Amino acid sequence: MASFVLQAVRRAEEDAVPTIGVGFTASRKIGKAVARNRAKRRLREAARRVLPRCGEVGCDYVLVARQAVLTCPFQDLERQLARALAGLRSQTRSKGSCSP
């Protein structure tokens, strides 16, 4: 089961800033505030480690936490994020959205 959902959008050329934007969200389905905050902390740390090498400059990413993010081993979470970023690049290559 996936620990999160990854969404991405390329910034418009005139708005393009040479950075990687990222946001995090966890709904009440995850649990109470403590669980939601823990889920976002885990996603934030995984993104801090993975996005610089696998993300694309000029794109904004949103990671939506799922229940599994709370119990998933952290190394698996990093691998899932790297795999999701690679899959996103290959899927959107023809669309011109967040691809190398």
CB 24 within 8 Å of CB 62:
yes
pLDDT tens for residues 59-75? 899 999 999 999 999 99
CB 93 within 8 Å of CB 86:
no
Q: Which helix (H) or strand (E) holds 89?
A: helix 74-92
Higher pLDDT, 27 or 17: 27
> For the chain, what are the domain ranges?
4-85
Does the pTM of the predicted model rise above 0.75?
A: yes
CB 43 within 8 Å of CB 33:
no
CATH 3.40.50.300 fits 4-85, yes or no: no
| Beta-ladder partners of 64 | 5, 25
Say yes or no to pLDDT of 8 above 50: yes
% helix, strand, coil for the chain, step of 5 = 50, 20, 35
